A and B are shown apart, each in its own frame.
Chain A
């Protein structure tokens, strides 16, 4: 069995060359530019090329509507939790396994979903997959509209991951994503182009 061979080789290697070291400790050394955590998140999220809109819980639908109108979006992919939202655009509810929705999913223009957390020091948001919010919502459409509660903004990756662990007991979500904004590449001449295989335009509505 290769497992035994590899583990033996590694053990023998360490017998021959014993390594010793205490483990390193993570400290957040990013220097904030804004004093307030929410302000710092907003600043960073814009640097990361997402379009940030502030709203209130009551006004959320209107904020979504105005984006959909502005971008002239006809079709929207929604998780079950947002299926009752009142918009005039065609609603596609992501309530079936991907295998049944594949053709549709590859055609939809815009995905809307609720982010679990914002990460202040990096200006990014995080979303975890679950039965309500599948992973492709944040990947497959050209536009994304992301809803984020101000109170869910955490300091950094470390505290956000701790929050996930705490919230989920011992079980972690299948997939945890941290997303900075639109997908991008700099593979040709090191010039940044937005919208490669993921969304090209990402709105974050902070409420």
Chain B
């Protein structure tokens, strides 16, 4: 991203974040942190090519996203997985299995039966076998988020953007997420042993300590590149310190 202003699609005249200069390299792991409603979600969605931006340039895999459309844009989006905040915006009229199977069926022109082994493998990896046949709107929030993760990973994306992965999770689920994201960073066999580039947005950076190599902060409409965890801890900005110590 070069000099990008992030806007809400329904209020394009009012920038939520300005001057975003950000480069994500293959194998990076970024943690974007900031207070609630500071623009993290919109930044992630803009980075995924979902929202227009009035100022600046966004390049995905080296190509400017402006002007991309149709199959080219779809192809770029498939190389990026996006896990939305909350319940992950699952398709509530479908079962858990159908949610995970949809991208495989649609892009591979395959039936549900044909993708069953692949989908089932992901459900097992996410420990979701017991809820596979349930409607996605009826499962708990923590499991819904895992379904959203499986749905994003099933296409084996090179970059994974996750909005607030740890929000509202109990200890057990949080441990599972930390372990799983750690495996993705190192290169999981399910992802053909290729390390996945991670971008994680969070209100509480401490919950992602150890996962993020680089940190950036969205604060008061501005974008700040902080550096690694130690640089974040050493920062004297009271707002940054507030983010670090909010759980204490």
Chains A and B belong together in one complex? no
